Amino acid sequence: MSVGARPGRAAKRLISEMKDPTALHLQLDKENMDIENANPARRRASADGMSDGGSPRQSLQALWSEAGGSSELPGASNASHEADRLHHRRAASSNIHYGRRGSKDSSTGQRKSPSKHHGGGSRKHRRTARVARQVWLAAFAAFGAAFLISVHVFLYRALFASDGEGEGGIGHQPGRLRQPLRLQPSSSGEHAAKKKQITLAPEDEVARMTLDEARDHRLASLDDRAIDKDQYTIRINTWRRDEQLLLSVDHHASCDGVKEVQVVWCDSENDPPDALVQHPSGKVRVERHEINSLNERFKVLIDPPTLGILSLDDDVLRPCAALDAAFLRWTRHPDRMVGFDARTVVAVDEEGDERKVDGATASSRWKYGYMSTTERSNEYVMTLPRAAFVHRDYLDLYTMALPREMYRFVAENLECEDVAMSVSK
């Protein structure tokens, strides 16, 4: 111990480190001798204390009183010391557990442990708030979905419901409008309805050929002209999709095998865009029709320069190499349709089970097979004219010899022209 050290601090250190009472007395005697030798005044005070009958322990009590303000020494027994250590360990563990959320004591600077009751309540409050927020969000999402569904149902009933449906159908709902919404004044709507009823041109009201005459017709040979084996004419059917039409025309007009591109324009209310009429390729011609019908795509008004016709929809894009390969295959079988999309038909018996074509009976009903049915059955009975090569004569046979019931059905329903073309072919 250095000469300038405070006796009170030395006494505290000795009491906290020494557990053996005998060793404690010996060490304290040595410390007192050192202190007295270094400080004559304290040596005289110690001598006065000893002369009064004091003991080293009484001297130690005087030092402890001077250092801590109390004359009572801490217990020197092992049990008391172990109790103090256990108390400090518990306090330390409590500080570690709550150290992150505890506040600091202003006097000692140490972090105080928050109350367990207060911390648990805070966590419970936050958890309750989080659950309530999630419930509100789920309720709002369900309300939004129900609102959107109701809007779609209302629009569907208002726009597509008709009076011809049954009493329990969509067209007859209590408290709802049976007539579709009128987007135009009544006079314009009546004019449009009258115009829509004109589905056949006067020259197409009656067939000009019978089916027997059509079957006996001989197709023009491809050997008469070299161009018929080298190039082909594209006929694109379109309806108010100018951007898609221009994209298709620009692409297909760049193919070397294309001799001419004929656009079947059935929109009598609008003119074709100038970019189409004055196409820079010089291959494009617009064929204007007065009637909007799928039958018009096969009605030739401008004589094509080739016998090979590629019938296309305006949303179909095929690579030039693929078109050339299909055209080469068609030149070997000009009496057939060669295309990229095929469909099949299925026979439905009285029990409602679907059967293949070879399993049909006299009482079977025929059903159109879509792409999924065609791929599953791995067979087809027709080629769709949306992307197919066909002989030019078949277009005339469709218009002139197709039974008028089928011709009128296609015109009024805007569908099934692919089935009708397969029948006429």
Catalytic residues: 418
For 76-95, give one letter per residue: b (16+ CB within 10 A) or e: eeeeeeeeeeeeeeeeeeee
3-state secondary structure 58-86: HHHHHHHHHHHCCCCCCCCCHHHHHHHHH
What stretch of H or E contains 15? helix 7-17
Taking the C-alpha atoms of residue 150 and residue 147, their distance in angstroms, rounded to an integer, is 5
Q: What share of the chain is helix, strand, coil (3-state, %, to 5)?
A: 50, 10, 35
The answer to whether 88 touches 104, Cβ cutoff 8 Å, is no
End-to-end alpha carbon distance in the chain: 121
Taking the C-alpha atoms of residue 346 and residue 385, their distance in angstroms, rounded to an integer, is 20
Sign of the Cα torsion 295, 301, 305, 307 reads positive
The answer to whether 360 touches 172, Cβ cutoff 8 Å, is no
The residue with tokens 């009656």 is: 206
The answer to whether 315 touches 245, Cβ cutoff 8 Å, is no
Other C-beta atoms closer than 10 Å to the C-beta of 187 total 8
Task: Name the phi and psi angles at 289, rounded to 5.
Answer: -120, 150
Taking the C-alpha atoms of residue 273 and residue 267, their distance in angstroms, rounded to an integer, is 12
Taking the C-alpha atoms of residue 11 and residue 105, their distance in angstroms, rounded to an integer, is 28
| C-alpha distances in Å from residue 222, one per residue of 21, 326, 330, 396 | 128, 16, 11, 17
Taking the C-alpha atoms of residue 351 and residue 349, their distance in angstroms, rounded to an integer, is 6
The three-class DSSP label of residue 24 is helix
Which amino acid appears at position 156 of this protein?
Y
| C-alpha distances in Å from residue 319, one per residue of 281, 296, 391 | 18, 26, 21
Taking the C-alpha atoms of residue 277 and residue 7, their distance in angstroms, rounded to an integer, is 114
